Amino acid sequence: MLFLFTATATAADRVVVIPLGGTVGTATAADVVKGKTFSSKAAGKGVIGTLKFRDGAKLYTNTIGMEFSLIPAGTFVMGSPDGTGDTDHPPIQARELGRVWIENQHIVTLTKSYYMQTTEVTQGQWKVVMGNNPSEFSSCGNDCPVEKVSWDDAQNFIDALNAREGRSNCHSTPNTCYAMPTEAQWEYAARGGTITAFYNGPITNTDCNDPNLDAIAWYCGNADEKTHPVAQKAANAFGLYDMSGNVYEWCQDRFDLDNQTYPYNSVTDPVGPVSGRRRIMRGGSFYARAWQERSASRSYDPQDSNSSIDGFRLVLHTGQ
């Protein structure tokens, strides 16, 4: 199913997913209306999870309690407006406060729906799968994001989680495995159909005092230089928490230092450059300033680096 998020979407007309049942598990239209929770086998792998409905979202909870929200396929404008009167990516907008030149706007189509983890991977989830806790802020507790993990460390977690749930053929197409989101999947999910700097409105201050950001993120203006339990701030239209702030989130894509901008033409299911050891990071952190927390803001690091601001969240492919 294809949903088109146009650049003129507003809070009133954001797309929500109202499944009619039967596509996953044994849901029926009546189940959706009543908001029932029911069991579902994951892609025939014999893995039992839970599929439920909340606030118009279709959610999947796996065997260790990680919750995922269905993100419908669709088309959106990726990047931030430069204020030059760009008629190719309507509506024409003023330059986004805090914008960086590598955020050139372009049209992206994602042809497959996917499930996005509603929170960052937590310390408790990491401990269940990996048996340790690398976090600098370990005293924050099991509900705080795991951090001080490199891109390579996160891949090891993904491999272990896929093995734990019996998910195989993860590098074939289609697959039904856990993975990191691509940069395009991340921004599409973070925006939730919006075109503003944050999913709840525009940016008004580039430093540590933005009222819109206060409502949705732990950042330099309110975090006291430390992580906080996930899902304490307001979620976006897809039911995703902490897409701004708390910890930076690794993405699958590489970052090309020689060609740092996006392509200027329209692209479908982009996966980023084919080489390089730097990987994209998104979303800002508890230490970052407001301009770094924008939905379009991009960062990168070597894939073997880690710090207390580095974390991640997963996607689960639907196999469509």
CA distance 170 to 163: 10
Q: What percent of the chain has pLDDT over 90?
A: 73
Amino acid identity of residue 254, one-letter, is: R
- Quick one: residue 273, left, alpha or beta (phi over 0 = left, psi -120 to 50 = alpha)? beta
Q: How many CB atoms lie within 10 A of CB 18?
A: 12
- Residue given tokens 């907008």 in the structure block: 93
* pTM of the shown model: 0.83
Q: What is the mean pLDDT of residues 45-60?
A: 53
Confidence band, pLDDT 50/70/90 cuts, at residue 47:
very low
What is the residue-wise DSSP string for 99-135?
--GGG--EEEEE-S-EEEESSPPBHHHHHHHHSS---
Locate the domains of the chain by residue range: 2-317
Which range, of 56-65, 258-267, 295-304, averages the lowest pLDDT? 56-65
Q: Which CATH class is domain 2-317?
A: alpha beta
**Residue 27 reports pLDDT greater than 50:** no
- Tokens (6 digits) for 18: 């109202």
User: Tell me, what's the pLDDT at 91?
Assistant: 83
- What is the phi/psi pair of residue 73, to 5°? -60, 155
Query: Which tens digit of pLDDT belongs to each residue from 222-246?
Result: 999 999 999 999 999 999 999 999 9
Query: Which tens digit of pLDDT belongs to each residue from 141-150?
Result: 999 999 999 9
**Residue 140 reports pLDDT greater than 90:** yes
CA distance 279 to 291: 20
